[in-house]
Structure 1
Amino acid sequence: MSARNLIVGVDFNRSQPQICYYEKEKENEVTAPMKVGNDQVSFEDIFDELDQLESSGSAELSEKPEIMKRLIENASETFRKSLATLGLDDPERQISGIVITVPKLRTQEVALIRGIYRTLGLDKVRAYLQDYKESFYYHTLYQDREIWNRNVGFYRFQGRTVTFGSLVINTLTRPVTFHFAEGMSMELSDKKDMWDGQFCEMIESTLNTGVYSGVIVTGDTYNRDWSKRSSVMLPRNGRKAFIQEGLFAKGACYTAREKAVEKRLGNYLYLGEDLVRTNIGMEMVVQGKATYYPLLSAGINWYEAQKNYECILVGEKPELKFLLSGIEDRQQKLTVMKLPGLDLKSRPAGTMKLGIRLSYRNAGCCVIEVEDLGFGELYPSTGRKWREELTC
């Protein structure tokens, strides 16, 4: 395989991870289980530890870096071996775009996936991450337009559990927007001969409440052997319906194609739950004039939003003022961050230099970290640091 020629999507989950890769020259797409040799890969232990890290208290914070380092090493080694099993023995050279998708993106998953990318030598300009819902969005929009010109229904089978959701389109906005709406779920009977009737009832309760141009079904327990009646109901009223195996790996692969190569969805925007919906900025004095300085813009996912900068604090109060405005209402809100213990009178005006870092814990929580940088050799740093969380 030639250098930088492969697009890869990975469904990174506990027990049935999958890889989908696309070779640009041949326009050939392959989806396969993640294996090392002939053995199916499992990440059960890694996800168990991620759950523990996510729920651990402050007393265990000191242990987190070492635990995460070990998890990154173990997961990266498995990824490397699994890619090699498929002939991708040099990811840094062979991959031009990759997306890893997980059921839900939490802080620990973000750290783990970014660590895997670093270990494999994959930089941020070609390595992305997202949750299952966003993978469903990209998978859907890479299908024929007639499937998604209205809402798209989605049924997912996991054992005897069936969940319903829908990709909702809003054609009145520019760009056209989509969001994923959670729906009902149900537990199928332990008697398999009842499944068809139960699924028929679920279809009646879900698809009859809106206008759907398409329906997609995925999951390990759905098949046409038991779904004689329900499979006839799915495509009624002009709906396009189909079963898709390996949907999340394929969706991740389509995302990588879109972001790294094709860029054909520029007129559409996915409003996912990971999307930052608040603009954050500051009023600054630049060349003697008060100017609004944008720091973080709405419209990107929280795990991609961060800003590092330096500024000179002036004025009489040890505080920073941030201006927040929503992506929908645009109304500005002033938030003041106090810097207790910072003595502005201890240095001449114009020498109080601060280092500021903004990042997100999730889509609704921005973390601001501030550090006294000092001012050269004349005014060394006091070492003081401040931290505050903004609800956005």
Structure 2
Amino acid sequence: MKGMMIGYDLNEYGCQISYFDEAEREPATLEVAVDNYQIPLVIGYHDHIWFYGKRARRLAVVKEGYTVDDLWNKAMAQEKITYEDQTYEAVWLLARFIEMSLKSFEDISVIVFTLPKVNEDIVQMLKGIAQRIGIERKNIYVQDYKESFCYYMFYQPKELWQYESALLYCNRKEIRAFMLKKLKTAFDKGRDPFVTVEEVANIRMEELKAVFPMTDEEKAAEADARFRTFVQGVFEKRLISSVYLTGEGFDQNWYPSSLKVICNGRRAFQGNNLYSKGACYAAYRRGMEFEEGPVYLDDTKMTEQISLKVRRRGGDVWQPVVNWGAHWYESDCQLEALLTDGEAIEIRIDSLASGESRIEEISLDGLSVNQPYTVRVQMKMLFQDDRTLKVIVEDMGLGEFFPAAGFAAEKLIRLGGSNGQFNSLSQ
């Protein structure tokens, strides 16, 4: 696929952008200063010119023009901001910020946004914003930080996630621990693994206040001791291949004792561009249409795969049309097929949660198929929610010799839904 493949880390404080470097065959991160990738989520306006990031923040410091911070929360609240008799929607300002932050990339083929948390409203908002700046909707994706960590690990040496892999996040208030692990399902044999990332522990630490800046060595030592105890509790009775430290809280060297525990028998890495790189790897997989490889699951993803029976090379095979790990609200699809007979269209549902498969049939009564491959039908698969799939079949005709007969059929297929289904896999 031509064009840039972008991973865009977005949170309430700023953004970070990684792009796939074809020469190096891996993501590179856009630097805004030496070893600094974070762009503050601030937009400003002065003398008929828009500014973003550090330049917008500078306007506020020198008290020139007009600036808007806390842009993410204002956009989520659908606020409106008025300046000099001009009213702006916060979502429009966020879109303007994203557009300016991507101005150095002339042609973007795929973009994956990654955020701390994701819901359907966030997905639709970001897809709408990216469409406004010229990216095709089908090439816009949104995922959370846990999924980005997972995609990052997919491209690391296998020995780093042979067992569980830990992600430790630290800001000025708390430390959170996540684990990447493989799931066991009835469909594991002969295929790549199903994996997930779970938050396994967290701790709020008043002692961290002494670390920013480190002015109290005694308090810093107390923070190190508490962190060491926390790590020992999290790592106890776990086989952990690697540990990744992220967040501004790890930028200063206040945890030497804890680091010895972390590095005991395992590899450890520290950095702050893991999420944007993970999103960039996801964009690369989407852009290159890689379907093989590990499948990431969480409690927002589908644990059912939907396949159609098709004829290939003289035999019947089941062709997946909606894969495990998809979001239902991104899985609507439309396809066409030539029928070999007029009996029924068969759809198979494979459930990871139950380990069972079932066949759903859509009757073709009333549709004459006198000769194989002379009747063309269009199938639409439309998800009404995570538990309900509507399938619509219509006769489309095949040229002037085989005109459409006006046949149409519909069927509602009940699915397991996400509630409670994933929990049975992740235990």
Fold conserved (TM > 0.5)? yes
Q: How many residues of Structure 1 are paired with residues of Structure 2 in the alignment?
A: 342
1:43 aligns with 2:86: no
1:249 aligns with 2:271: no
SS in 2 for 1:39: helix
Q: CA deviation at 1:107?
A: 1.3
The equivalences for 1:227-306 within 5 A come to 227-236=255-264, 238-261=265-288, 266-280=292-306, 296-302=321-327, 303-306=329-332
Counterpart in 2 of 1:326? 351
Q: Deviations over 1:218-246 (max 9, x none)?
A: 1122234211211121110x200111212
Q: Note if contact 1:12-1:102 (Cα within 8 Å) is conserved in structure 2.
A: yes
Q: Note if contact 1:9-1:250 (Cα within 8 Å) is conserved in structure 2.
A: yes
Q: Note if contact 1:162-1:185 (Cα within 8 Å) is conserved in structure 2.
A: yes
**Would the alpha carbon gap of residues 358 and 158 (structure 1) be closer, same or farther in structure 2, given more than 3 Å must change?**
farther
Q: Note if contact 2:18-2:277 (Cα within 8 Å) is conserved in structure 1.
A: yes
Counterpart in 1 of 2:420? none
Question: What CA distance in whole angstroms lies between the structure 2 residues aligned with 1:102 and 1:357?
Answer: 31
Q: Deviations over 1:130-180 (max 9, x none)?
A: 221110011123233332222101111133111111001369752133221
Counterpart in 2 of 1:181? 198
Question: What CA distance in whole angstroms lies between the structure 1 residues aligned with 2:159 and 2:393?
Answer: 54
- Percentage of matched positions with identical amino acids: 20
Q: Note if contact 2:379-2:394 (Cα within 8 Å) is conserved in structure 1.
A: no
1:158 aligns with 2:177: no
**Would the alpha carbon gap of residues 371 and 97 (structure 1) be closer, same or farther in structure 2, given more than 3 Å must change?**
closer
Q: Deviations over 1:111-140 (max 9, x none)?
A: 112212322222256433222111001112
Say which is worse superposed, 297-306 or 241-250, in terms of deviation. Answer: 297-306
Q: Counterpart amino acid of 1:160?
A: K
Q: CA deviation at 1:44?
A: 2.2
Question: What CA distance in whole angstroms lies between the structure 2 residues aligned with 1:387 and 1:258?
Answer: 32
RMSD of aligned Cα (Å): 4.5
For 1:34, which of 26, 39, 50 is the aligned residue? 39
Q: CA deviation at 1:12?
A: 2.0
Counterpart in 2 of 1:81? 100
Q: CA deviation at 1:215?
A: 0.5
Q: Counterpart amino acid of 2:332?
A: Q
Q: Note if contact 1:99-1:129 (Cα within 8 Å) is conserved in structure 2.
A: yes
Counterpart in 1 of 2:245? 217
Q: Note if contact 1:361-1:367 (Cα within 8 Å) is conserved in structure 2.
A: yes
Q: CA deviation at 1:299?
A: 1.5
SS in 2 for 1:17: strand
Q: CA deviation at 1:206?
A: 0.7
Q: Which runs of 5+ in 1 are unaligned?
A: 51-69, 284-290, 315-320, 338-347
Q: Counterpart amino acid of 2:271?
A: Q
Say which is worse superposed, 132-141 or 293-302, in terms of deviation. Answer: 293-302
The equivalences for 1:3-22 within 5 A come to 4-22=2-20
Q: Counterpart amino acid of 2:98?
A: F
Q: Deviations over 1:339-366 (max 9, x none)?
A: xxxxxxxxx9669xx998544477x434
SS in 2 for 1:20: strand
Q: CA deviation at 1:74?
A: 4.1
Question: What CA distance in whole angstroms lies between the structure 2 residues aligned with 1:300 and 1:102?
Answer: 18
Q: CA deviation at 1:322?
A: 8.2
Question: What CA distance in whole angstroms lies between the structure 1 residues aligned with 2:324 and 2:249?
Answer: 37
**Would the alpha carbon gap of residues 44 and 361 (structure 1) be closer, same or farther in structure 2, given more than 3 Å must change?**
farther
- Normalising by structure 2, we get a TM-score of 0.64
For 1:195, which of 208, 220, 223 is the aligned residue? 223
**Would the alpha carbon gap of residues 334 and 118 (structure 1) be closer, same or farther in structure 2, given more than 3 Å must change?**
same
Q: Note if contact 1:161-1:186 (Cα within 8 Å) is conserved in structure 2.
A: yes
Q: Note if contact 1:133-1:180 (Cα within 8 Å) is conserved in structure 2.
A: yes
Q: CA deviation at 1:368?
A: 3.7
- Normalising by structure 1, we get a TM-score of 0.69
